[in-house]
Amino acid sequence: MCTIKQFLLILALIALAAVFGASLYQSIIEGPHFAVSVPESLEHFRLFMGDNNPGNFFRLVAPAAQILTFAALVLNWKSLRNRRWWLLAALALIVGADVITFNIHYPRNALMFTAPLTVPVDVLKKAAAEWLLWNHVRTAMVLAAFVCTMKALTTPNDREIQ
């Protein structure tokens, strides 16, 4: 039977998997195309995205992953000590990924996707290259958070060890 603690761990795992999948897609498919034929590639991306963009997904799912991971950590803190450190690591990693999002991606997103396309091409290419590099880091951090949460889910609780 699945307890609320396990259920929250599973929900956190699903949310982290969704963030990882979207981040990986951006690293492999979207990101490499940002710097191709600047500014035309960015103009095409802007037209393609229209009113929706990846941020709409991340602004919903990333906080959900953080909240679910935090809730799982709180509920498992005392009773499942063997899992707490994995969940604490997962929470630190997923929050760290958001720190990268706010400090690295948002300024570059504004430059590449909302600023007038009169920005010098070399500035746009540099922003696109930095965005992609940091997206690889962010994706790795989200994957690590997923692995830590999976480890927490599969680690025996204290009662099973005794």
**0.85 surpassed by pTM:** yes
* Digit-coded pLDDT (tens) for 77-110: 886 677 889 999 999 999 999 999 999 999 999 9
CA distance 115 to 128: 13
pLDDT band at 126 (very low <50, low <70, confident <90, very high): very high
Domain segments of the chain: what residues?
A: 4-161
34 three-state secondary structure: helix
What does the block give as tokens for 30?
């979207």
Selected residue with higher pLDDT from 16 and 76 = 16
